[in-house]
Amino acid sequence: MIGSGNSGRGSARDRARVAAAALSLSVCMGLATGSAAPRPGAQKDHARGDITLTVFAAASLNETFHRAADEFSAAHAGTSFIFNFAGSQQLAQQLVLGARADIFASADARQMKAAGPAIDSITIRVFVRNLLVVVVPSGAGRAVHRLADLGSPGVKIVLAANAVPAGEYALQFIGRCSPSEGFPVDFMSAVLRNVVSYEENVRAVLAKVVLAEADAGVVYVTDAASASRRAVDTVDIPERLNVIAEYPIARVRESAHPAEAELFIRFLLSARGQELLEAAGFTRAPAAAKSTDAKPADTESHPHE
């Protein structure tokens, strides 16, 4: 049985295998995944310049934010980035405890609210959306071919913990699988009995499925898209059962570079920023249509005085 990622149970060998899978995923995508807290040398730095923006962002934003930062830095000479990617609940807690950052991008409004006084609330905007999908190990012999199979006896399921936005969204999806939709009356209970691990972020869920340590996991469509098709297959969730995940972004109240932080947020909401997000599988947010369509080179950075 797989140890709980939330409780710390399970053998050191299991944890090592999950870490190795996560690293393997990162290498395959050509990017390093961020750690739960910033440490010297632990995050990928874009070439350091005169201004370094520190961005705390949900794990599911990893690859796309690196690409956006590359384009932004190219248009704003002297601007570089340090990223801290983790579960939104971990990031919110770090900010409340005094961690220094310029921008916080959460996978749900609950964790943005949890960051409370650390956030400049008037700058909060939903900048992108995401959807859920079920991932299963690729190849023959898979145990899950359709959603109803999630409740079959003996199926091993891994979810993000309830405190993690992806975990909360997964529970909402499972709760929508009602008898009127053709599922058994006890479907949710049956699925939860099959959960063998609750993880601290959605990428850890994906890693365990890649390792075939679980028969299925619920992740964002963008996470599934980031993995090799040779590693996982997917079982789609119909729109009527799916959950729209809205990602808010905001400037941190004690940002050392508030003007530059605002410029990067505006870039993500611009036409080009939304193109980058959509290319990764995200869905355009309503706020983006009302935002500036300026590209990063169209605006100038004015240091905060």
pLDDT at 286 (0 to 100): 81
Partners of residue 195 on adjacent β-strands: 157
Same domain, 230 and 260: no
Same domain, 137 and 231: yes
The last residue of a domain, from among 204, 235, 266: 235
CATH no. for residue 270? 3.40.190.10
Q: Which two tokens stand for residue 217?
A: 């996991």
Q: What is the extent of the structural domain holding 256?
A: 31-130+246-298
pLDDT at 289 (0 to 100): 53
Same domain, 45 and 83: yes
Same domain, 162 and 108: no
84 domain-assigned: yes
Cα 30 from chain centre: 17
- Say whether pLDDT at 7 is over 90: no
**What percentage of the chain carries pLDDT values higher than 90?**
73
Out of 35-39, 52-56, 70-74, 185-189, pick the least confident: 35-39
208 domain-assigned: yes
6 domain-assigned: no
pLDDT at 139 (0 to 100): 83
181 domain-assigned: yes
- Say whether pLDDT at 278 is over 90: yes
14 domain-assigned: no
Same domain, 159 and 212: yes
- Say whether pLDDT at 236 is over 60: yes
Locus of tokens 């905060």: 304
Same domain, 36 and 104: yes
Q: How many domains does the chain divide into?
A: 2
Same domain, 263 and 170: no
Same domain, 279 and 256: yes
- The per-residue pLDDT for range 81-90, each reduced to its tens digit, is 999 999 999 9
47 domain-assigned: yes
2 domain-assigned: no
Strand order across the 216-220 sheet: 195-199, 157-160, 216-220, 132-137, 232-235
**pLDDT tier, 14 (very low <50, low <70, confident <90, very high otherwise):** low
pLDDT at 230 (0 to 100): 75
**pLDDT tier, 27 (very low <50, low <70, confident <90, very high otherwise):** very low
Same domain, 115 and 152: no
Same domain, 122 and 160: no
Residue 248 contacts by C-beta under 8 Å, 6 or more apart in sequence?
Answer: 105, 106, 108, 109, 112, 124, 125, 126, 127
Single-letter amino acid, residue 227: A
Q: What is the mean pLDDT of the chain?
A: 84
Q: What is the mean pLDDT of residues 90-114?
A: 97
Q: What is the mean pLDDT of residues 135-155?
A: 94
Same domain, 165 and 231: yes
- Say whether pLDDT at 4 is over 60: no
- Say whether pLDDT at 279 is over 90: yes
**pLDDT tier, 128 (very low <50, low <70, confident <90, very high otherwise):** very high
Out of 22-36, 45-59, 156-170, pick the least confident: 22-36
pLDDT at 238 (0 to 100): 96
The pair phi, psi for residue 38, each rounded to 5°, is: -70, 130
Same domain, 74 and 167: no
- Say whether pLDDT at 282 is over 80: yes
- Say whether pLDDT at 194 is over 60: yes
